[in-house]
Structure 1
Amino acid sequence: MQSIRIVLFFLLCLLLTSAFTAPAEEGRTLYDHHCARCHGTDGTRGLLGAKNLQKSQLSDSAIFIQISNGRRIMPAFKKRMNPDQMTAIANYIKSFRKL
């Protein structure tokens, strides 16, 4: 009985860990595919006027709106991605910030 509890506890921990890492991984994958070309893999490359994302102080909603609607030369992604994907990218972008 104790062995079953240990196995169940291990499986629960594994499920919880994967639940928290999957969105971060999705955000990184989407960012690498759609954003890194101009913003760089670490958010510092300013190709064609792209902002340095490490210095960004935008709120969560402002980041989401910029991803959704685009800005200047940056394309809008509201027709290419669903809200969850844009939120995943926004969360990933916030991980670049230098405090």
Structure 2
Amino acid sequence: MKRTMRIILLPLLLFLFATGFSTRHAGDGQALYEHHCVRCHGADGTRGMFGARNLQKSLLPDTAITLQIMNGKRVMPPFKKKLTPDQINELSAYIKTLRKPAI
């Protein structure tokens, strides 16, 4: 019985250490936005501090959003060294959810 428990618990512990006990799940672009972007763009994407664009009115294609997050623009800092490519994609996907349809 003890051997069976070790066989089950050892891989589980190794998995937890390998993932760094991360509670953040993939696809958490909103948390990334709140941490990195909300200060200038606002919670709903309309704030416009320091010349930040209104994200609700943005018409940028997906690749342009990703490039702007990676490289920054004017006052906006680049995030290519702060975020992983997956995080940049998650953030880009979340930013697109802030868009409001044109009337």
Aligned match for 2:85, one of 78, 83, 86: 83
Q: State the distance in 1 between where 2:42 and 2:64 align.
A: 20
**Which one has the bigger helix percentage?**
1
1:71 to 70, 73, 76: 73
- Measure the CA separation in 1 of the matches of 2:84 and 2:98: 22
Partner of 2:57: 55
CA RMSD of aligned residues (A): 1.1
Show structure 1 runs of 4+ deviating over 3 A: none
Residues 16-35 of structure 1 correspond to what in structure 2 (within 5 A)?
22-23=26-27, 26-35=28-37
* Length-normalised TM-score, structure 1: 0.75
Q: Give the share of equivalent positions with the same residue, in percent.
A: 58
Q: What residue ranges of structure 2 are gaps of 5+ in the alignment?
A: 1-24
Equivalent residue for 1:44? 46
Partners of 1:93 and 1:44 in 2: CA distance = 12
Secondary structure at the counterpart of residue 56 of structure 2:
coil
Deviation at 1:22, TM superposition (A): 4.6
Structure 1: which 5+ runs fail to align? Answer: 1-20
Corresponding residue SS for 1:73: coil
- 1:10 maps to none
TM-score by length of 2: 0.73
The letter for the 1-side match of 2:87 is Q
The 3-state SS of whatever aligns with 1:56 is coil
